[in-house]
Amino acid sequence: MAPETDIATSTVITGQLEATGPLPLLIEPAADRNWRNCFDEIKAVIDARLEQVGGVLLRGFEVGGEQDFQAFAKAFGHDLLSYDYASTPRSQVEGKVYTSTEYPAHQVIPLHNEQAYTLAWPMKIWFCSITAAEEGGETPIADSRKVYQQIDPAIRDKFAQRKLMYVRNYGNGLDLPWQKAFSTEDKATVEQFCRDNQIEFEWKGDGELRTRQVCQAMAIHPRTGEPVWFNQAHLFHVSNLQPHVRETLISIVGEDNLPRNVYYGDGSPIEEADLAHVRQVLDACQVQFRWQPGDIMMLDNMLAAHGRSTFKGERKVVVAMAEPHR
């Protein structure tokens, strides 16, 4: 605990987890575990502190499943967002509540800010632990301001100036089909979405879709004015694949048809050593804690990145997002 930063109101107590330090700020009930009875004070603490710490963890409140979680997220007063232009498989579990990315349990999901591979993203993201894994399954987080500050300024400036071009090839059994990524069966709807979002698109000979989009590598938080590392180059780049998978994929489909890849904004290749440095900094900034059932984590999606650790046993973490920013 760090008493100088704690807030005690009549209904909630703040503190910090030993394992993580100041991020996330821990919010617990003083006595009454019904979040609805404490919501005004929960919100007051979050309004006062979220932009300073980047994320909060609510622990010890009664959360009665996905529907109750959705009600909690909605109580902040914004419409929840649907997962358009998704990059990974998810399922809708309740209204605008989704499963977290359904990648196999043995796979790590590297730290990232949600939808940083595009030009519009949610400012807020909530996670709720419905079933905590037997082992692992954490949602590691990192302060994106700290990540920005720790990246070698030469690399940082190069990325910021040159920007990034994300290339995606949908379907073909290798990645999400376009119908799933764009939540539609209609090609014209996809095309309109792409035009509206400055995404270049191309229907290939086999009827599959390729998109290209030039996006930011860093961003300035609209309210705090702070620079944050804000991209998914380390996830989209082909170097994120195991070497043997990378080799096999390229030999079968060719570099142009890789399910996803990223270049500098002008289409020139990104140096792999630079991405290795970015991954190192992300690792160094990462903190994590064990999920407990009923935990809710709320992040400012620009100030904090999140990922997923490998796990054993059943795990269910659901997600909601709000406040689109462009």
Query: Which residues make up the interface to Fe ion (CB under 5 A)?
Result: 114
How far apart are alpha carbons 102 and 106 in whole angstroms? 11
CB of 114: closest distance to Fe ion in angstroms? 5
Residue 70 vs 115, nearer CB to Fe ion: 115
Residue 235 vs 281, nearer CB to Fe ion: 235
Cβ proximity to Fe ion: between 58 and 297 the closer is 297
Question: Across the beta sheet with 97-99, what order do the strands follow?
Answer: 12-17, 21-29, 55-58, 296-300, 121-131, 316-325, 97-99, 92-94
Our CB check for Fe ion shows the closer of 82 and 161 to be 82
Q: How far is the CB of 18 from Fe ion (least distance, A)?
A: 25
Least separation in angstroms between residue 305's CB and Fe ion is 9
Burial of 199 (0-12, 13-18, 19+ CB in 10 A): buried
Whose Cβ is closer to Fe ion: residue 114's or residue 175's?
A: 114
Q: How far is the CB of 306 from Fe ion (least distance, A)?
A: 6
Least CB distance from residue 257 to Fe ion, whole Å? 25
Residue nearest to Fe ion (CB): 114
Q: Which is nearer to Fe ion, 75 or 109 (CB)?
A: 109
Instruction: Indicate the residue among 114 and 138 with the shorter CB distance to Fe ion.
Output: 114
- Strand 21-29 and strand 55-58: the pairing is parallel
Report in angstroms how near the CB of residue 83 gets to Fe ion at its nearest.
10
Report the nearest approach of Fe ion to the CB of residue 142 (Å): 13
Q: Which is nearer to Fe ion, 66 or 114 (CB)?
A: 114
Instruction: Report the nearest approach of Fe ion to the CB of residue 3 (Å).
Output: 33
